Amino acid sequence: MSYTQLAIVGILVVIIVDLWVLRTRLLTRKIFWVSYAIIVFFQLVSNGLLTGFRIVRYNGEVIIGSSTPVDGPPPFIGDGRLVFAPVEDLMFGFALVLLTLSLWVFWGRIGVQRLPVAGPPRFSPGGNRDSESST
């Protein structure tokens, strides 16, 4: 499966998780899209630096555009790229951000550690150590 196909499948799966499995419906909220605009800006900056300086290179057979030319950096815009990086990176980034925020909202709704607390995890397999030491 190509990088492009994996990115599209990832987006579809996460949309299903957001809208129907977890029912967080972040995609229907304006605040999500405002937040995502901020995130995607910084994603473009970091992806642009990594691919523009050729720290990260892609195989042209598995992305929408071609591979990075041997004699120079990839195009800034065009040939399936945006700010040097393949558009598939934006697709994966979208899926990762949406999944992370959906899980965060879902876990908050069911009451998993609403307030930050120092110490051992609240749901530890060995039970609550504080209650054992106080007896």
Q: What is the pTM of this model?
A: 0.77
Q: Are 73 and 84 in contact (CB under 8 A)?
A: yes
Q: Which domain holds residue 45?
A: 3-133
Tens-binned pLDDT, residue by residue, of the chain (135 aa): 788 999 999 999 999 999 999 999 999 999 999 999 999 999 999 999 998 888 988 888 888 877 656 667 788 888 888 888 889 999 999 999 999 999 999 998 887 766 666 666 666 555 555 555 544
Number of domains in the chain: 1
Q: Quick one: CA dihedral 60, 65, 66, 71, positive or negative?
A: negative
Q: Which of 110, 103, 89 is nearest to 40 (CA)?
A: 89
As a three-state string, the secondary structure of the chain is CCHHHHHHHHHHHHHHHHHHHCCCCHHHCHHHHHHHHHHHHHHHHHHHHHHHCCCCCCCCCCCCCCCCCCCCCCCCEECCEECCEEHHHHHHHHHHHHHHHHHHHHHHHCCCCCCCCCCCCCCCCCCCHHHHHCC
Can you tell me which residue has the tokens 């900056």? 45
